[in-house]
Amino acid sequence: GLADPRDVLDQQVATRQQAGERQPDLPGLAEDDVIERPKCLIQTGIQVFQGVGATGAVDIRNFGTLSGAVAVAGAPAGTAFTLTNSGTMTGRVNVTGSSVAASQLTNSGVWNLGTGDSTFSGNMANSGTLNMADGAINTLTVAGNLTFGTGSVFRVDVGNGVNDRVNVTGTATLNGSLLAFATGSVFTAGTYTLLNAAGGINGNKIVLVIEDEQGKKEEAINVFKKLIFKDNVLMVFGPT
């Protein structure tokens, strides 16, 4: 496991007190003033290393701000890897080799994936905001099952024939809302696969179909008919 820096600091203070050492002077603080333990500990990425033949569990929890080009990374073979974010996490997650059945990524805050592809070997549950919309086209691979909870938000970049994408090796359960942002500020007509689950999403993959009604009432009617009767889409949305 990872040592909590606050616990390490408390132990150092206790050791100095037992040895009769005086604590360093701090401007504006009396000797008996109480200093609160910080609520936010980590502001750079976390790299998890595994010793040869080591086993066990990794449990990382972010309640504040966790950021880095790579927020969390590691290849702990066979380890139960738990990553919980209820704050703001910015950067890629590259966790491979962990036990899929015993590993869990839970996001109830905001995860800004940043530039580059992310991979998590385990199941993932999102009840917060999964933000892939950063102007770059990226892929998130979940080697397990994925669940989007009620009230969750999925933000993606779409356009010019390319788009952000989530690949799931297991099943996907979808709730919440989808926000698509145009790359280059222009939506290009076409079909975009935003999420693909090998185990099925009600037996199908999620596809975003974009059509241009050219600002014309007659063309809007033609586009609507095509989407409903030819493409057989389940939902239609657009500007009002």
Query: pLDDT, tens digit, for every residue of 46-102?
Result: 888 777 667 778 999 999 999 999 999 998 888 899 999 999 999 999 999 888 889
CA distance 83 to 202: 27
Query: Of 17-21, 52-56, 126-130, 211-215, where does the model show the most confidence?
Result: 126-130
The pLDDT of residue 240 is 47
Place of tokens 């609507």: 224
The pLDDT of residue 224 is 73
Contact predicate 137/160, CB 8 Å: no
- 225 vs 21, more confident: 225
- 13 vs 92, more confident: 92
| Residue 165 pLDDT exceeds 60 | yes
Q: In the chain, what percentage of residues exceed pLDDT 70?
A: 71
Banded model confidence at residue 39, pLDDT cuts 50, 70, 90: very low
* Cα torsion through 39, 41, 42, 43, rounded to 10: 60
Contact predicate 118/94, CB 8 Å: yes
State the burial class of residue 70 (Cβ atoms within 10 Å of its Cβ: 0-12, 13-18, 19+): middle
| Residue 23 pLDDT exceeds 80 | no
Banded model confidence at residue 206, pLDDT cuts 50, 70, 90: low
CA distance 171 to 200: 5
CA distance 16 to 21: 5
Give the DSSP letter string of 62-115: ESSEEEEEEEEEE--TT-EEEEEESSEEEEEEEE-SS-TTT-EEEESSEEE--S
| Residue 40 pLDDT exceeds 50 | no
Banded model confidence at residue 207, pLDDT cuts 50, 70, 90: low
- Mean pLDDT throughout 196-202? 72
| Residue 200 pLDDT exceeds 80 | no
Banded model confidence at residue 151, pLDDT cuts 50, 70, 90: very high
Tens of pLDDT, residue by residue over 103-136, are 999 999 999 999 999 999 999 999 999 999 988 8
Q: Provide the pairing of β-strand 57-62 with 162-163.
A: unpaired
